[in-house]
Amino acid sequence: MTTSRAERRQQLDQQIVELGRMQLSKVGAAALSLRAIARELNLVSSAVYRYVDSRDELLTRLVIVAYDELGEAVEASVARASGPPEARLATAMRAFRLWAVDHPAEFALLYGSPVPGYQAPPERTTAPGTRVIAVLLRLLSEAAQAGTLRTSGPPPPGEPLCADLRAIAAEFGAALDEADVLAALGLWTWLLGAVGQEVFDGYGQATFADPGAVFEAQLVRQLAALGR
Amino acid sequence: MTTSRAERRQQLDQQIVELGRMQLSKVGAAALSLRAIARELNLVSSAVYRYVDSRDELLTRLVIVAYDELGEAVEASVARASGPPEARLATAMRAFRLWAVDHPAEFALLYGSPVPGYQAPPERTTAPGTRVIAVLLRLLSEAAQAGTLRTSGPPPPGEPLCADLRAIAAEFGAALDEADVLAALGLWTWLLGAVGQEVFDGYGQATFADPGAVFEAQLVRQLAALGR
DNA sequence: GATTTTCAAGAGCACCGCTCTCGGTTATGG
DNA sequence: CCATAACCGAGAGCGGTGCTCTTGAAAATC
């Protein structure tokens, strides 16, 4: 079996990321070990540096594939869903939770505490990292245009804050005013908190028989406070 | 200067935790190094094991002092505050955020992604770890008794979930029904999400000029959805 | 076919948690 | 008061980590 050099290169590149994900889910991001990956590939430790610049570089690759997979899952779920924007919003958030529960280590890498010495390079990670929030803003925008949003009250105080909120709406091309974006932020914030608590086992394991039920109950509460 | 053995023991015990906290804020929990602490104490690496069973044991001690310090800060803030329960609730949540912003590494240790190989022993950490949520439930309980809570609508669906929620109210001695506890949970969840996003830099550094303002604006929104 | 590029291996450096032994100091109790 | 017991710090050592550099062989290119 003769594999050309380019083929083998590509193959190993992929295997390394795959094994990285396996290790991620076993030992966590902070304990990710290039040497362990090399061992599983029957390579000597130094050889793996032909394919990965450094441990941080591998971490970045893992961040990107995780963001993309999560974004894919959320986008696919709303593409499959029908009904009013609020219902599809709920679908998207449920998809977010499901992916996180299925991939706790990846979720921790994306939204958990930062890995000590590591800083994700924004120029490579922000694009895939904003897919989910983009979906949320798009659906809220649809709801606003349908007139089923009740958020518009007095705009949040503070001109610099309002400017930042408007900048977000503009960046994502959402037809939302300041109060709407603030509400979206609250929703996003709550979602991260809820999923984080569940995935990181913030309540003890014994407090809730069905974590999905408490997520669902909280979700309808949050959405009720939003629409009308 | 002759220090008795017991004195020196106690002193070193304390210094180790102190240096552990310093290191925590410098390199993060996952990279906490007993050897570095030993170096700073002018001790050989093995000597520090006379005072700390293992790295995990030190981590547990750090978790406990962090929980206690955070609980202390929150409790003190509501003790200083006056006014209706809702106002003191806001005060407590602001104190939570302030402590977290001042102690990002400790916050990460308590509420961030778990440290890879480490599991906090519940019998030592749950007591200090529930002080904050206890304050929240107590204040909400006061608000409920004052009749300024609007959460009571249809109880959340699912009998097992309701039983869990009632169990929480009972455990903390709160006079709250199922819908109230669910609302409290939502508040807590949002708080963790908001603070986590800010401390872990979930938005880029450039998106918000004043993170405190977005916290405050979201806070009044969340509280408005709660009271009446 | 000669040359250039790519590759895996190996040795090595500095770091980590942790264990064990050994000699010296302190506290205790007969 | 002195012998014994408890405690302490140093040192060596094991296996693990990320990462660098050199070396010889293999593949691709010219």
Q: Residue ranges of the domains in chain B?
A: 1-53, 66-226
Fold of A66-226: Tetracycline Repressor; domain 2 (1.10.357)
Q: Which of the four pLDDT bands, split at 50, 70 and 90, describes residue A1? A: very low
CA of A45 to C1' of C2 (A): 33
Return the residue of B nearest to A199 by Cα. Answer: B113
Fold of B1-53: Arc Repressor Mutant, subunit A (1.10.10)
The pLDDT of residue A116: 77
pLDDT digits (tens, 9 = 90+) for B33-47: 999 999 999 999 999
C-alpha dihedral over B109, B115, B121, B127, to 10 degrees? 20
In chain A, residues with a C-beta closer than 8 Å to the C-beta of B218 are 182, 185-186, 189
Helices (H), A172-204: 178-199
Mean pLDDT, to the nearest integer, of A36-65? 97
Contact between B165 and B181 (Cβ < 8 Å): yes
Angle at B201 between CA B200 and CA B206, to 5 degrees: 170
Q: Which of the four pLDDT bands, split at 50, 70 and 90, describes residue A49? A: very high
Burial B77-97 (b: 16+ CB within 10 A, else e): bbeebeeebbebbbbbbbbbb
pLDDT digits (tens, 9 = 90+) for B120-143: 999 999 999 999 999 999 999 999
Residue B33 CA to residue B16 CA, distance in Å, equals 11
By Cβ distance, the residue of A28, A200, A218 closest to B189 is A218
Residue A227 in contact with partner chain B when CB distance is under 8 A:
no
CB atoms within 10 A of CB A117: 13
Burial A123-144 (b: 16+ CB within 10 A, else e): eebeebbbebbbbbbbbbbbbb
Reference B93, options B192, B169, B176, B225; nearest CA is: B192
Whether residue B1 is predicted with pLDDT greater than 50 in this model: the reply is no
User: Based on the number of CB atoms within 10 Å of its own CB, is B183 exposed (0-12), middle (13-18) or buried (19 or more)?
Assistant: buried
